[in-house]
């Protein structure tokens, strides 16, 4: 079963205070912008790479991560959480995502988990 980070992305949130409206939030470098649209006028589609026949979470992996998290202090878990976020960002089939960016994110995830500097020798040494 194949899926990627796009399969788990949330594409639409209704505006909670007014059920007939939807709030589309745009993230921008200079802040966020909210656009309110009547739900009847709104069409949102997911990109083709987000279509998965079946999505199942790996129960063993989730259980292991939960157990591991319970055994860690907050700082150590933040390191793992960062690594997981980088790995998920690298695991995308998004058209606009450059392979070089995916590679840097994937390497960054392992560096974070290993507590290694960006020095290739240190990463390789810590990986073994």
Number of domains in the chain: 2
Q: Is 70 helix (H, G, I), strand (E, B) or coil?
A: helix
- Contact predicate 48/29, CB 8 Å: no
Burial 19-31 (b: 16+ CB within 10 A, else e): eeebeeeeeeeee
> Do 42 and 105 fall within a single domain?
no
- Contact predicate 126/107, CB 8 Å: no
Give pLDDT tens digits for 68-114. Answer: 999 999 988 998 999 998 998 888 777 778 888 888 899 889 888 88
Question: What's this model's pTM, rounded to 2 decimal places?
Answer: 0.62
Give the model's confidence band at 64: pLDDT under 50 very low, under 70 low, under 90 confident, else very high. very high
> Do 34 and 66 fall within a single domain?
no
> Do 122 and 65 fall within a single domain?
yes
């Amino acid at each position: 079963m194949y899926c990627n980070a796009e399969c788990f992305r949330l594409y639409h949130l209704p505006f909670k205070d007014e059920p007939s409206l939807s709030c589309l939030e745009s993230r921008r470098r200079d802040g966020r912008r909210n656009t309110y649209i009547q739900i009847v006028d709104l069409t949102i589609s997911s990109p083709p790479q987000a279509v998965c026949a079946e999505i199942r979470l790996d129960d063993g992996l989730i259980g292991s991560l939960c157990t591991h998290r319970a055994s860690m202090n907050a700082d150590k878990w933040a390191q793992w959480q960062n690594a997981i976020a980088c790995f998920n960002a690298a695991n995308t089939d998004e058209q606009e995502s450059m392979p070089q960016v995916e590679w840097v994110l994937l390497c960054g995830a392992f560096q974070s988990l290993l507590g290694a500097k960006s020095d290739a020798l240190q990463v390789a040494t810590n990986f073994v």
